[in-house]
Chains A and B, each alone.
Chain A
Amino acid sequence: MATREELSEFLAGVERRAFKQAVFAVRDESHALDIVQDAMMKIAEKYGDRPAAELPLLFTRILQNVIHDFFRRSKVRSTWVTLFSALGSADEPDVDPLETLDASGDARSESTETTYEREQVVAIIEEEVAKLPARQREAFLLRYWEDLDTAETAAAMGCSEGSVKTHCSRATGALAKALRERGITL
């Protein structure tokens, strides 16, 4: 059973990422804060007696469910976002944008850039991540930001591992293309 300290430490460790994920999904910081608070409440009330090791996957699923519930409650907005996402991903090129990305820069060389420039880059990346279709963004963030493996991501999303791989591949392709067009080199 997770102690109060363990749960507190866990929530403190994930709350910022959870907030950002919610912002990417709902594109509104106020709603995103409500979503994160709702998810925190649910994991504490319903799963507060679970072992600490189970909390990450539980919280991931709860957060995704709360985000989905938010969209169910605002159907008009959900329809609009889905339509926009579908249009955005309709004409993906056959070429893999990852192949054309310049991989010469590394984190150390980037650290020499000014803080302002770096913040701008991060903001653009966040903007483009938010533009990804919902399922692609969800899979990409769970897989690469939350560091879940394919099976865990599939379990959290309620889909097959094959779907997760497809979503991740499309998401990285779309993101790489968008960043390249905006002159961002990772």
Chain B
Amino acid sequence: MNQDEFGFRVRQALNEGADRLDYKTVLRLEQARSAALARQRHAGPATVRLPALQLATAGPAVGDDGGPWGWLRGAGWIAPLVAVAIGFVAISHWQEELEIERLAALDFAVLLDDGPLEAYSDQGFGLLLQAERPADR
């Protein structure tokens, strides 16, 4: 008989002994198990990643398991970047409109002004008109 075979036969005997525990011991073990289960450590709540613009009430998207629309979930982080880019473009466009309006007002003021002609060759004249424009309004 080799070592493994001997170990196997001892194991059978030990299993028999373990199966014959008295009732009180079995009850104590059950109580210990219940007490331990009551204290089981649970992992923290799972992190749910939602696209920034997805409505909380929308529920799970079709294809959550990687279906035809599954890529939308993965692309959710792009939405904030797109919004920021659109914002920059809008601000740039608004500032450009303001500049055009300002230059137009300046040209209009120059055309109506009855100042001396030499003044128009002065580089600071434009700044003077610009400074006086609020008062004109």
Interface residues of A (CB under 8 A from B): 1, 4, 7-8, 11-12, 15-17, 19-20, 29, 33, 36-37, 40-41, 43-49, 98, 101, 103, 107, 118-119, 121-123, 125-126, 129, 140-141, 143-145, 168-169, 172, 175-176, 186
Contacts and interface: CB of A to CB of B under 8 A. Distances in A.
20 contacts: A7-B37, A16-B18, A16-B29, A17-B15, A36-B29, A36-B32, A41-B35, A44-B36, A44-B40, A45-B36, A121-B13, A122-B16, A122-B17, A123-B17, A129-B10, A141-B14, A144-B7, A144-B8, A168-B3, A175-B10
A11 B13 contact: no
B35 A20 contact: no
Nearest to A119: B20
A143 B2 CA distance: 15
A176 B42 contact: no
B32 to A, nearest CB: 4
How many of chain B's residues touch chain A, expressed as a range? 35 or more
Given A101-B1, A145-B14, A40 B42 contact: no
A40 B42 CA distance: 15
A106 B83 CA distance: 78
Given A98-B1, A186-B6, A1 B33 contact: no
B39 A41 contact: yes
A186 B29 contact: no
